[in-house]
């Protein structure tokens, strides 16, 4: 079986191989009608450009890096999937690297890796997106980067985010609307910018409803299910425990579900539980978890779109590359008993 070549695409499209190369490489100086014809033929022939050959014929490597600090988290898995799928669409390859900042020589190791990989761009996930040392290393290596959900320095680079504060406020409003007045809140890792934004949304909505966000009902978690379990246990051991718990991510909400199960509390009849992120695990619990859908995969795909824009390298600080995506509440059985009968495990 013969492999489709760039010459085959050019012949079918009625253009030169150089024009095909320009279209595939995302160069701008190609007429719109020719670009569309080439892309149509690429799809028809299922042409897959060779990344090594492309890198030899241009200054790009067609490699993007995804830097994460916790590869085991559901958040990281969704971001990785979104970036990987979009890279495939654009004929790029994705390299995933864990950055362990608790090791003494992490900066030197990362610098060496960046020198070897020759990346065309890097996606920074929380909390790495707010690390100024990491940003400086990428700038020194002349590697453009896009941040997902940064909490500061908007003018540093392009970024993709959603409104964590408003989303947390809306979830709190949902719980209040169900009649809950004593609501426990479990915070996430303080190194993540989203932690303070979600707490702010919770407190502001409680205040707006003339309810008190009691300090003894706000607990310190770290985004792990273990911490969710421990902090939910502490909340439920209070003389006057909450009737609802809002955890800052789904892993901690799952820990709260385990704490409720351990105490024999029916969810949501005796205790409502809500999370944040809409991780895959939120849909395979019973009852299914009410949560905020954060478009993590779409955010990663958008980051790939920015990094593969030929103009981005010289325009990283332009407002056009600062984008926000929408969230939505996913109301399920862990807060609303009426949805339990219609909830199903996918």
Rounded Cα distance, 162 and 325, in Å: 5
pLDDT in tens, 110-125: 888 888 888 999 999 9
Q: What is the pLDDT of residue 342?
A: 46
| 68 DSSP β-pair partners | 98
| 218 DSSP β-pair partners | 185
Q: What is the pLDDT of residue 218?
A: 97
pLDDT in tens, 15-37: 887 787 777 766 666 787 888 88
| 185 DSSP β-pair partners | 218, 246
Rounded Cα distance, 54 and 50, in Å: 6
Q: What is the pLDDT of residue 75?
A: 80
Q: What is the pLDDT of residue 71?
A: 79
Instruction: Please choose, from the candidates 298, 299, 320, the residue with its C-alpha nearest in 3D space to the C-alpha of residue 309.
Output: 320
Rounded Cα distance, 27 and 36, in Å: 13
Q: Which residues in the chain show pLDDT less than 70? A: 1-3, 25-29, 48-59, 339-346
Q: What is the pLDDT of residue 344?
A: 44
């Amino acid at each position: 079986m013969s492999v489709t070549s760039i010459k085959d695409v050019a012949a079918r499209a009625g253009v030169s191989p150089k024009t095909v190369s320009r279209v595939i490489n995302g160069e701008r100086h190609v007429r719109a009608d020719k670009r569309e014809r080439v892309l149509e033929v690429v799809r028809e022939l299922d042409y897959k450009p060779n990344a090594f050959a492309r890198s030899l014929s241009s200054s790009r490597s067609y490699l993007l890096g995804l830097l994460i600090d916790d590869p085991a988290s559901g958040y990281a898995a969704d971001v990785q999937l979104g970036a990987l799928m979009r890279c495939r669409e654009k004929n790029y390859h994705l390299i995933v690297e864990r950055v362990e900042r608790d090791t003494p020589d992490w900066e030197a190791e990362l610098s060496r890796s960046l020198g070897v990989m020759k990346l065309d761009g890097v996606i920074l996930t929380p909390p790495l997106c707010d690390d100024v040392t990491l940003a400086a290393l990428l700038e020194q290596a002349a590697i453009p980067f896009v941040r997902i959900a940064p909490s500061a320095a908007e003018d540093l680079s392009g970024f993709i985010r959603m409104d964590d504060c408003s989303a947390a406020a809306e979830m709190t409003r949902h719980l209040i609307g169900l009649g809950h007045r004593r609501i426990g809140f479990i915070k996430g890792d303080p190194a993540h910018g989203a932690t303070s934004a979600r707490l702010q949304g919770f407190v502001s909505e409680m205040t707006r409803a003339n309810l008190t966000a009691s300090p003894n009902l706000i607990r310190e978690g770290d985004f792990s299910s273990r911490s969710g379990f421990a902090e939910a246990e502490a909340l439920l051991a209070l003389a006057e425990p909450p009737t609802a718990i809002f955890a800052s991510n789904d892993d901690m909400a799952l820990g709260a579900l385990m704490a409720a199960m351990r105490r024999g509390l029916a969810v949501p009849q005796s205790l409502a539980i809500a999370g944040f992120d809409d991780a895959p695990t939120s849909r395979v619990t019973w009852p299914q978890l009410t949560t905020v859908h954060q478009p993590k995969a779409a955010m990663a795909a958008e980051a790939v779109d920015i990094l593969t824009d030929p103009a981005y390298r010289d325009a990283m600080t332009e407002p056009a590359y600062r984008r926000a995506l929408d969230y939505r509440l996913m109301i399920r059985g862990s807060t609303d008993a009426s949805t339990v009968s219609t909830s199903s495990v996918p």
